[in-house]
Amino acid sequence: MMAMGVSLKFSCALITLIAVTVELLVLRVPLAYANSEGDALYTLRRSLSDPDNVLQSWDPTLVSPCTWFHITCDQDNRVTRLDLGNSNLSGHLVSELGKLERLQYLELYRNKIQGTIPVELGNLKSLISLDLYNNNISGIIPPALGKMKSLVFMRLNDNQLTGPIPRDLAGISSLKVVDVSNNNLCGTIPTSGPFEHIPLNNFENNPRLEGPELLGLATYDTNCSYGSSKARSLHSASTFKIRCAVTKPAKSPAEEDWKTKREVLLQKRVRSMDVKEALRLQKENNFVILDVRPEAEFKEGHPQGAINVQIYRLIKEWTAWDIARRAAFAFFGIFAGTEENPEFIQSVESKIDKNAKIIVACSSGGTMKPTQNLPEGQQSRSLIAAYLLVLNGYNNVFHMEGGLYSWFKEGLPIDAEEE
C-alpha cells in the first residue's frame, strides 16, 4: 500500500515536471521575446520627451509590451506595429529599434524627433512602412536601409537629411512609395528599380539634388562635399573619366557651399521672420514679397501683391552639359528640366528698386537658426536668393521662415492667376 502511495506521488511529480517543462518551452519562449522587445521599446521611451503623456502606459514592469498603448502584437506576442505619429514627441531614435524583428509599421511622423536614422533599422526585414516624415531628423539616409526587402512605403520628407540617396534602395523590389522632398540631399535621383516609377515631385526642394542620372553622365554624388583632401582626391580620380565626356560649367555663386552663404547672410544682417510678421510688414511698411518659386507654381497661388522672379528656370541652352541634363530628365519622362536662372538678378533689378525692403520666399523656407543637429541651419531656395541679392547690392533683404507652405497653412491672403 505504501509502495503504491509512493508510486502515485512520483507519478504526480513527474506529470507536474512535464507540465512545467511544456510551459517553459511553449509559453516562456515568446515571453522572452516580449521581454527583450519591451526593453527595446522602453529604451526608445527613455530617449523621448513626452509632454502629453502619450507613453504613460509603457510600464517596464509589465510582462509584455503588447498591453501598452500604441503597440500592436501578433499571436506570438511579437511587436508588429509602433504607432506614434503626431504625438508631440521630441528626442532621438535608438538603435534598439532594430531588435523588433517582426515590426511591419514604424509610424513616428509629425513629431519633433532629432538626431540621425539608426543604421540598425536595416535589420527590420519585415518592415512594410517607414514613416518618419515631418520631424527634425538629420544626417544621411543609411545605405543599410536597402536590406529591408519587405519595404513598400518610405516617407522621410520634411526633415533635415543630407548626403546622396543610397543606391542600395534601388534593390528593394517591393518599394512603391519614396518621398524625400524638403530635405538637403545632394547627388542625383536614381532611375533604376522602383525609382523608375517614383514621381519627381517626391524629390523636390532639395537644393543640391540634381535631376535624374543617366548612364553616369552626372555623378551619383554630384554637389556632395567631402570632408578630407584625401577623400576629395579619391572622388576626383574615380569620376574624372565620366566628367571629361560632358563637362559641367564652373560653379556659380548660388552653388557656393551653405556655410559660406550663411556667413555672408549673417554679416549682412539678413533677418528671418514668420509669415504673419511678413504679412504685417507688407501691409503696414510697404515691404515687397519676392516669390522665387517657378512661374507655374506662382500662378497656382501666391501671397497677394507678391512679385515672382524664379531662381530656377527651364533649361534653355544647348551645350554638351545641357544636352546631357536634358537627356537625363527625358529618361525619367520629364521633358522640362530646370537649371539655375542666370538672369535672376537682372530680372529682380528690373522689378524692384535696390532700396526696397524685400522679403524672399520659397516653398519650404529653410532656416539660418542653429539647432543641436544642424548647427548651421538648413539651406533653401529663398536663402540662396537672399544670398545673391546681398551680393548684388540689395541691403534690405529679409527671409520668410517656414516658407509659403506656412503661408497657405495659416490661411493668409493669396492670389491665383487663371490660365
pLDDT in tens, 12-46: 544 444 444 444 333 343 444 457 888 899 999 99
344 contacts 352 by C-beta, under 8 angstroms:
no
Side chain identity at residue 373, one-letter code: N
- In eight-state DSSP terms, residue 97 is G
Maximum distance among all Cα pairs of the chain, rounded to whole angstroms: 115
* CATH 3.30.465.10 is held by the domain 254-315+341-415: no
209: three-class secondary structure by DSSP: strand
Please give the pLDDT value at position 31: 41
- pLDDT (tens digit, 0 to 9) for every residue of the chain, 419 residues total? 444 444 544 455 444 444 444 443 333 434 444 578 888 999 999 999 999 999 999 988 877 898 899 999 999 889 999 999 999 999 999 999 999 999 999 999 999 999 999 999 999 999 999 999 999 999 999 999 999 999 999 999 999 999 889 989 989 999 988 999 889 888 888 888 888 888 877 888 888 887 665 444 445 556 675 443 333 333 333 333 333 334 445 556 776 788 888 899 999 899 999 999 999 999 999 999 999 988 888 988 899 999 999 988 766 555 555 555 555 555 444 444 567 788 899 999 999 999 999 999 998 888 888 876 667 888 888 999 999 999 999 999 999 998 888 898 889 999 987 65
Locate the domains of the chain by residue range: 31-222+234-251, 254-315+341-415
CA distance 152 to 82: 16
* Beta-ladder partners of 397: 358
pTM over 0.85, yes/no:
no
Contacts of 97 (CB under 8 A, 6+ apart): 40, 44, 82, 103, 106, 118, 120, 121, 124
CA distance 96 to 81: 15
336 contacts 296 by C-beta, under 8 angstroms:
no
* CATH 3.80.10.10 is held by the domain 31-222+234-251: yes
CA distance 345 to 341: 9
Q: Which residues are catalytic?
A: 362
Side chain identity at residue 391, one-letter code: L
102: three-class secondary structure by DSSP: coil
